[in-house]
């Protein structure tokens, strides 16, 4: 991909933060998802323990960590704008016998999108699940982090496809 199409590269090829000053403020929303896969015996033990580990309630702690990460994305990812997040929801539930699905939805009315916030929230929630469960196994796998959809701004994306 030529550097001239990358928004975070200036004409001289140097990195830069995108100027969103002239953009209109619109309602913007992004949804990201990731999976945490456990060995069967670990998943069974977690279900039997009500998704609690020696460190505490796994799901509740992951939701808090993911939400904190959403609000601090601009401190973690270069060139992300600090944003006044208006809505953040993290949902965590078993998608199969051995796999937790983590979905992070972020929304606001602003001049720039919230894809990075949603992706960051989902990934930190998954990392928190891993941290809280690693004493049971180091064979836990975090997999498939992706943007499910985004709306607002110039483009609408759903399941990785740009929509009209």
d(CA 136, CA 118): 28
Of 12, 18, 9, 3, which Cα lies nearest the Cα of 112?
Answer: 18
Q: Where are the alpha helices (DSSP H) in 6-114?
A: 40-48, 58-71, 73-76
- Annotated active-site residue 143? The verdict is no
For the chain, the 3-state helix, strand and coil shares in percent, each to the nearest 5, are 30, 35, 35
CA 44 to CA 35: how far, in whole Å? 17
Residue written as token pair 């929801």: 89
Q: Report residue 67 CA to chain centroid gap.
A: 9
98: β partners: none
Please give the Cα distance from 27 to 30 (Å, whole number). Answer: 10
Q: Which of 93, 97, 131, 143 is catalytic?
A: 131
**Catalytic annotation, residues:** 131
């Amino acid at each position: 991909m030529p550097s001239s199409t990358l928004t975070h590269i200036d004409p001289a090829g140097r990195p830069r933060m995108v100027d969103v000053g002239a953009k209109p403020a619109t309602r913007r929303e992004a949804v990201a998802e990731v999976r945490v896969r456990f060995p069967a015996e670990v998943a069974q033990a977690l279900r039997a323990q009500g998704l609690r580990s020696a460190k505490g309630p796994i799901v509740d702690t992951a939701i808090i960590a993911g939400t904190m990460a959403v609000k601090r994305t601009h401190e973690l990812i270069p060139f992300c704008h600090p944003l006044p997040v208006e809505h953040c929801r993290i949902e965590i539930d078993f998608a199969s016998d051995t796999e937790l699905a983590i979905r992070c939805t972020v929304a606001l009315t602003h001049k720039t999108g919230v894809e990075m916030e949603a992706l960051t929230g989902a990934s930190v929630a998954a990392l928190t699940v891993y941290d809280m469960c690693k004493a049971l196994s180091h064979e836990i796998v975090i997999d498939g982090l992706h943007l499910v959809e985004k709306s607002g701004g110039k483009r609408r994306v759903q399941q990785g496809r740009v929509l009209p």
